Amino acid sequence: MKKKCVFLDRDGVINVDNVNYTYKVEEFKIIDGVIPALKMLKDAGYLLIIITNQSGIAKGIYQHEDVYKCHDYFDRESGNLIDEYFYSPYHQSTSESLSRKPDSLMFEKAIAKYDIDITQSWMVGDRERDITPANKLNIPTILIEEVPGTETKAKYKVDSLFEAAELILKKA
């Protein structure tokens, strides 16, 4: 039986986004309401998969190990609610990759690995580069809107992951 999933961007959805990259555990600030939102989705039977660009690796700012440490920290804090983390270490200034959002390869790998039913799944992101690959694959999209009135191709706009979780559960 195919599984339903909520795909999530990381920076700006799970943790506070930092223009200088979030790669140190001590700077990984979990956004209020994120853990309760993830618990609601998990309790409703959704797989929870992070799809994130981590271009600071390609730029030489941090290493894969730093990403693993942040993910391990979030797993400890959240009680291991995330089923898997997919990340792209590439950046177009150093190396092209189809895995990097706005391309859809990370999504496609997760869909194949977990036998995901995209008609029952969602993508929650805070940037258009999160929304674009999900729209390409016909996965319903929710934008966490940082700036009111943001132009987007997302199906829905909300203010937080908690609001997104409520919307997903209402639409299920």
Residues 6+ apart with CB under 8 A from 137: 104, 107, 108, 111, 118
For Cα atoms 116, 118, 123, give the angle at the middle one, nearest 5 degrees.
Answer: 105
Catalytic residue flag (residue 9)? yes
One of 11, 66, 126, 130 is an active-site residue; which one? 11
For residue 29, the one-letter residue type is K
Judge contact between 76 and 113, C-beta under 8 A: no
Q: Where in the sequence numbering do the catalytic residues fall? A: 9, 11
